[in-house]
Structure 1
């Protein structure tokens, strides 16, 4: 078979976008969010970000302890998530591509499937060299102007412009001038944003970027050597013929589920909830001596039954030890150190979980540049049993440190009251014992009593 010449292929590449191609208009904000995801995907694959990610994962004791210490498995998780992110964007681009006037752009989904299953870039859509970086800068400009346009449209609302909040015709000359200026600003921003761009122009830019990003993922993670399908790793000869890779764009499937162990927080839908529990513990541990009973009850109410049961089982053998401990027992300092030591490596996973979830919200997707937090940096892939065991240890430590703090405060209160009575009111010495009894009562409150 004679290879197709570059000149012949050139005829099939859309060279310009006709006037009959519809303009994006109000859909510019939705398409702008897709553009932001494309930019974030590309930037997450830069040498600097990949080096930073690998360094963070290597240095994370939490990932090694709760997720996996297998670097190859971690790479598969990262690669699968990037493919899933790419799949979501490509699916949306394919849907918007149906509105293009160019039949080739309308067939983006088919062309991309062929590219990822056979490696055939039949239209030469992949960007090379510095061209991709230039287009990333161009898309960043569109994203920025889109954000400014959205703000200008909101500020143009007459209700926002009047000082008394009344709607209707603006009678004030000053406000009429402001309104005219706002309209001119909106018109200017529309001209430089995606609002006035055609579907053909925008989808062409996004489609070619997705081709380039997919190739970049292959290069960075060596997907031809590690594609995970049905529990097996296929070699490079079968990679591009794999139906499962094709399914990456055929529907909003979840390739992460193919390799997600069944007993993880993500599989149990507990990752976000456990992250909130850990963050609450972290906040309370910052000032354990002043934790109120209400705060402790709120934390306890957050715990699922399994954690309550494990906490109850852990506290019972500790009760006798805690009752016999003096205020200056060396083990008390050990509990404090253990609490801070666990939080040091566990809290980052919890905070990353919150960040990852917040980045998925609609408002964050439109204009705000993301931190590119990946699920492997969160609690999503954490082993459920191991995580619950660690959280139970945190709760026991917090309980012990909290009791120690109350004992110190109660003792200080009793000593202060005794000193004042002895020195200023010697006739009221009988009340000193009452203060001591109150201190003893305050120091005896424990979570195990609630259980």
Structure 2
């Protein structure tokens, strides 16, 4: 029996390594690092004191702090859920039974059954874990680039050898030297690949990688509870006796239980509410895979820009309008027509109606008593709107790019939040702002054109 135990102990199969799964693991680690960095004191202060108070967010989305912070919390939890699901899948390949059952542990964590009091965000040991993850992600990114480069070199070598085998007449001494140089480069590149495999996640065991991520998942969840505690119903407060301070965040029912998120009444902004026209039937312009997997994205109501499927299209229109405003000489007539064609039919009608009203006011086309041209007045009005409208449009395209190119990203910078974008913006108010901008630009262009023709 002793011999059998000795034999079993010394002949256990080696722990499985990640190998090709290293790249998916690196992406998950990168997502966790990004989440961690988004919850630092500096980022939380930026969110509470700047982001939710920016002009575009207040004008178009809401001035209700409770709504905006609930939305931020829900999105960060959604991101954590996605990362935790991948960690659970990798955990099933671990030899540690505890890591095999991480999906159950994570469910207990969200149910408030695990004490997270001792998990100190920003502690020295946690920072070391985050730093280790960052190094592994960076090394894995270098491995990916090295493997792509090696594959290209090997493909080139095969082509050259094929030409040589066909007996190409132009294949002389110079080409022989080039082949040798290529072979030397391939040999060096293979060494680089082997080196990065040792440094990266490729040769890390499932147990080590998953154990590292599990700890950060716990830290991030506890931090989200701490940061958003004053704004989420169902969380214990710090000044009452709640024993060991368990996490009780019911984020699955966040939108159903929190009145600030479901009964949204804020209609702030400088543009008056217009009468709603007919029903909107546009196909959502967000990436299909993003829309399918992101629950927070799908919660936007039909009265919002995102709910109407127009976020990315309107962001493109606004950014094109910015070019027209600041670099009018680089925009031709055909590009202006293309911009107009980007607009939904209901928005085209609003632009036409507004333009007819402007052309009927003939006195506005004459210079005022102070010598200022109408174009100057329109330009000032457009610039004032674009000051708060453009940042929201840019954040919309940035949000889309960050999710669409996620597998190509290896940095751990905090990602843009939906509350910063057009997605949850009031549709009527966003369209009213866009109409004002487009009509103003058209008036500027036509006035300048008329003046040149005089």
TM range (shorter): 0.7 to 0.9
In structure 2, C-alpha distance between the alignment counterparts of 1:132 and 1:334, rounded to whole Å: 56
Consecutive unaligned residues in structure 1, runs of 5 or more: 1-17, 228-232, 412-451
In the alignment, which of 159, 174, 188 is matched to residue 181 of structure 1? 188
- 8 A contact 2:91–2:102 mirrored in 1: yes
The corresponding residue for 1:308 is 348
RMSD: 3.1
In structure 1, C-alpha distance between the alignment counterparts of 2:149 and 2:356, rounded to whole Å: 61
The question of 1:374 aligning with 2:414 is answered no
The question of 1:286 aligning with 2:294 is answered no
The question of 1:221 aligning with 2:228 is answered yes
The question of 1:321 aligning with 2:361 is answered yes
In structure 1, C-alpha distance between the alignment counterparts of 2:14 and 2:436, rounded to whole Å: 66
TM-score normalised to the size of structure 1? 0.77
**Does the C-alpha gap of structure 1 residues 184 and 386 become closer, same or farther in structure 2, counting only changes over 3 Å?**
same
Distance apart, 1:44 and its partner CA:
0.6
The corresponding residue for 1:14 is none
In the alignment, which of 377, 381, 384 is matched to residue 341 of structure 1? 384
In structure 1, C-alpha distance between the alignment counterparts of 2:208 and 2:322, rounded to whole Å: 49
The corresponding residue for 2:151 is 157
The corresponding residue for 1:84 is 78
Distance apart, 1:290 and its partner CA:
6.3
Q: What SS does structure 2 have at the residue aligned with 1:297?
A: helix
- 8 A contact 2:74–2:254 mirrored in 1: no
In the alignment, which of 231, 240, 243 is matched to residue 248 of structure 2? 240
The corresponding residue for 1:9 is none
In the alignment, which of 440, 446, 454 is matched to residue 403 of structure 1? 446
Deviant stretches of 4+, over 6 Å: 124-128
Q: Indicate the structure whose relative CO is greater, using CA pairs within 8 Å and at least 6 residues apart.
A: 2
Distance apart, 1:403 and its partner CA:
0.8
Q: What SS does structure 2 have at the residue aligned with 1:22?
A: coil
The question of 1:137 aligning with 2:131 is answered yes
The corresponding residue for 1:254 is 295
* Structure 1, 85-94 or 128-137: larger mean CA deviation: 128-137
The corresponding residue for 1:30 is 24
Consecutive unaligned residues in structure 2, runs of 5 or more: 1-11, 165-174, 237-241, 256-291
Distance apart, 1:240 and its partner CA:
2.6
Q: What SS does structure 2 have at the residue aligned with 1:367?
A: coil
The corresponding residue for 2:42 is 48
Distance apart, 1:234 and its partner CA:
3.5
Distance apart, 1:130 and its partner CA:
1.5
- 8 A contact 2:77–2:251 mirrored in 1: no
In structure 1, C-alpha distance between the alignment counterparts of 2:443 and 2:374, rounded to whole Å: 10
The corresponding residue for 1:208 is 215
Distance apart, 1:59 and its partner CA:
4.6
The corresponding residue for 1:432 is none
Distance apart, 1:320 and its partner CA:
1.9
Distance apart, 1:266 and its partner CA:
1.7
- 8 A contact 1:87–1:252 mirrored in 2: no
- 8 A contact 2:27–2:410 mirrored in 1: yes
Distance apart, 1:185 and its partner CA:
1.1
- 8 A contact 2:225–2:249 mirrored in 1: no
Structure 1 or 2, whichever has the larger Rg, is 1
* Structure 1, 135-144 or 354-363: larger mean CA deviation: 354-363
Give 1:402-421 correspondences, 5 Å limit: 402-411=445-454
The corresponding residue for 1:117 is 111
- 8 A contact 1:116–1:245 mirrored in 2: no
In the alignment, which of 60, 63, 68 is matched to residue 66 of structure 1? 60
Q: What SS does structure 2 have at the residue aligned with 1:133?
A: helix
Deviations 1:361-413 (A, max 9, x none): 245544244452111111111111110010010111011111122123323xx
- 8 A contact 1:22–1:199 mirrored in 2: yes
The corresponding residue for 2:305 is 265
- 8 A contact 1:359–1:365 mirrored in 2: no
**Does the C-alpha gap of structure 1 residues 298 and 164 become closer, same or farther in structure 2, counting only changes over 3 Å?**
farther
Deviations 1:233-290 (A, max 9, x none): 445499738483699xxx96725656x4441112222111110010011111113366
In structure 2, C-alpha distance between the alignment counterparts of 1:214 and 1:235, rounded to whole Å: 13
